[in-house]
Structure 1
Amino acid sequence: MRKAFIGVCLFGLVTIIVSGQEGTVTLDKGIKGSMLYLVERLDPDTKVAVLNFSADPAVSNYVIEELTANLVNGGNFIVVDRSELELLQREMNFQLSGEVSDESAQSIGKRLGAQTIISGSLSPLGNRWRMRIKALEVETAKIQGIQAYTIKRDTVLSSLLQPKVAKRPKTTGEKIGTGAVNIILGLGSYLEGDITGGLTLTAGYAVAAGLFVIEATALDWDNPAVGVPATIGITVAGATIVYGIVRPFIYNRNPKIATLLDNMHFDIAPVSVSAHDIFHGAGFRLGYTLRF
């Protein structure tokens, strides 16, 4: 009798363990299963909006995008365009990765013209996570269904939950080194990933070089404009060198100023002038445009 009792206990324990393993799925399978669950619970051609998913922002974005893609590709529902939701998000100032009340979800759903709002969450559960997906009817605030999964940590979830390592600030010496290398057509900025700064420097050096070429090939020695392109070229080259030295300090310390500088564009163009002018009909115009 005792052996039989022990056998029953062992059998029950194994059953519980197996059942627990079978009830644990990957994040992708949970998303796929949630889509299939919604197909069973909602009427065909229902207009749905995947509103929010309360979790780490990286996980939230992944689940929202994947669930939206599954719903669209399934072809069972009319899915609200993400761009419409993002515009409304900025207007109403709510977080896609945060909690949204049923009342707010209703209001958002009505403005989007959706019939059902889909939301969810991912919460820690020991060394697992619990994912829940909820469908809310916009018109009546009736909960049309809640599906839950226990999620195990796989490579996808691990990569999403991996802590973001903050970029180490550049030292003064490193910034000076970048500025020095910027003399070579903005190479220092390119190496630092500052593509805009690198392109600006390359353009500056190209303009200066073009002016020197004009000076050397396009003007006769007796032309009153001799020396003007070279003078402007030296000025442009000097300004570009100074910008290349300063750029690493501005870019790493004050992105707003860097953005302002990025929107300042210099240009040089040949212009025609009156015949009595000393340039005898030839000249150059140097200008700049600042967008803000």
Structure 2
Amino acid sequence: MKYLAFPWGPLGNMLRRLSLSGGAGNVTAWVLFLAAGALPVVCWGVLFLKKRAVKADWLLFLLSAAMFAGLWLLVNPSYLEQKLFPPGIGEMGMPAVALTMDSILVTWVFCRFLEKYEKLGKNRLLRSLQVLLVIFILLTGISAAFESGYGFAKEYAALKSGNTALSEKQLMPSIVFLFLQTVCAFLPKVLELFLWSRIVCLLRSFEKDCFSRESLGRVEGIKRLSALFLVAVLFGNLGMNLLQLILASRIYSSHYVLVLPLREIIVLLVMVLLSRFYLLTKHLKEDNELFV
């Protein structure tokens, strides 16, 4: 759970080590603590002086207060059980404090974007979309990989503990099948994220011209890949479920799972339809230009 406390947890640990290293280290820790806590207010002051402040920027004061309180608790983790959490669950304290600060920061970023996006020009809007999509791809990819790995490890442990009388050789077909099942569940997410990366490239070409040859080629490529990936996901899902049914008597497992990545199937289908809509719009635009 410690990874959930990043980056505030490591910062708190660094400040604690500095404060315990001696007089100079303690002074340095206090300076860094005050500077970190005051940073959101300084940011608000800069935005205000440049006349770029918006209503959402009041959240910076809340973030500053949360950072002072949160960093103090992270520097002194013993207070987490004494002041906030009941004994025995102090391990959740650092992630809870860190995620609270993260939630305020994320709320400020997106509320500020919502207030400013209508004033963005075409290219800045497209670049903002690219940044958001890249962040989405990275976060979703990391989350999907972690969930798949954790799920496989959990199912593997359940398989071993539920069949202790069987040897490793006897369990091998079940382990291989469990691995294939995990891959089959993970693959649709990978294909979807790959298509999102192609859309990021498409947005770059939109900066030049939404109906250029480059944009048209990218949309046609996305349409073909979406259709191909959709067929692969559907038949892969069908094959795994049929294989599980046929080999049911030979596979040792604590339970069976029917894989149906409905969300990914819908996303791939939407990409196919949107690509087709773009191409129809392109042809309609060309017909209108010929008519004029």
For the aligned pair, the TM-score class normalised by the smaller chain equals under 0.3
**Structure with greater proportional helix content:** 2
Higher strand share: 1
TM-score by length of 1: 0.25
Q: What TM-score do you get using the length of structure 2 for normalisation?
A: 0.25
